[in-house]
Amino acid sequence: MRIATTVFLTDESVRPARLAQELEQRGFAGLYLPEHTHIPVSRDTPAPMGEPLPRQYGRTLDPFVALAQAAAVTEQLGVGTGITLVAQHDPVSLAKRVASLDHLSDGRLTFGIGYGWNVEEAADHNVSWSDRRDLVQDRMALMRALWTPEPTAYQGRFGSVRASLAHPKPARRRSPADPLTGPRTLIGGAAGPKLFAHIAAYADGWMPTGGRGLTEAIPALRRVWEEAGRDPAALEVVPYAVLPSPGKLAHYADLGIEEVVVQLPAAEPGTSGAADGAEILRTLDDYAQYL
C-alpha cells in the first residue's frame, strides 16, 4: 500500500520544497494539498469539521504553485490536489495549469477535484450553489477538449471552447478507447448516488475524506461504476486525510485499497513546529512505521 500525505501549507508553515524532500527521502508516495482561495469573514456556512474554523483554512498556499515547487526538487514523489475547487476556476486557465504541472512533473500529478463546502467562498466566484456539481462536470469536459491530442471544440451548458492549439498535454498515456483524457482524476465527497454517478461518468475514482464507512460504500460505488460500463479493475479508491493506525490500514488493504493519504499536522504559528517543520517531521518519523 502506498502511503501519501496531506497538510495545510500556509505562509506560516514549512516550505513545500523542504517538506517534499523530506517525504521523498523517507519513502512516502506523495504530497496532496488542499485549496481555498479565501474564506469570507462573514460566513453562514458551518464548517464541516466544526467551529471555529481552523486558522489555516484562510492562509493556504495556492496548491499548484506549491506543488510545482515540490515537484522541482523531487524525482519520484507524487503531487496531488486534495481538492481543487473546479467550479471556482476559469476552465481554460485551469486546463493550462493542470497540464503544465503534470508535464513538468513527468506525469506525477493526481488531480483531486470536488465541489466545495463554503457557500460564501463559491458565491464570490459567481458560482450558483445549486449548479456547482453540473458546473464541475461541464468544466471537466471543456478541459479535456483542450487536453486531447488534436484540436477539439466543446460546447456545454456553462461554457465553450473553440478547437485550439493547447500545449503542453498531460503526460498520462491512456488507451485510445478511454475518453478520460488528462491526469489521474479522483473526486472527493461524501458517499451517495449522485456522487457515485459523477465518479463513474468522468473520473478514475473516489477520494473519501477520513475513510469511514467504506465497507458498505465501495460495493455500492462498484455497482454504479460497472453499470456505467467502466472496467471493474480500473476503479480507484484513495482514502484522504486519514489518521492512520495498523488496524485501519489493514482494513483498507482487505478492501483492495492501494493508496492512502494520511493527515499531517498544521502547526500553530509561534510554536516550535511551525515554520521549521519540526512537528511535521516528528509525525513523518512516526508514520514511517506504515511504509
- pTM for this model (two decimals): 0.96
E strands of the chain, at which residues?
Answer: 2-6, 30-33, 78-85, 109-114, 154-155, 160-161, 184-188, 205-207, 236-237, 259-263
In single-letter form, the type of residue at position 149 comes to P
* Domains of the chain (ranges, CATH numbers): 2-290 (3.20.20.30)
| Per-residue tens of pLDDT for the chain, all 291 residues | 999 999 999 999 999 999 999 999 999 999 999 999 999 999 999 988 889 999 999 999 999 999 999 999 999 999 999 999 999 999 999 999 999 999 999 999 999 999 999 999 999 999 999 999 999 999 999 999 999 999 999 999 999 999 999 999 999 878 777 889 999 999 999 999 999 999 999 999 999 999 899 999 999 999 999 999 999 999 999 999 999 999 999 999 999 999 999 999 986 555 545 566 889 999 999 999 999
Taking alpha carbons only, the member of 186, 134, 133 closest to residue 157 is 134
> Alpha-carbon distance 16 to 1, whole Å?
24
Strand pairing of 154-155 and 160-161? antiparallel
> Please, are residues 61 and 93 in contact by the beta-carbon 8 Å criterion?
no
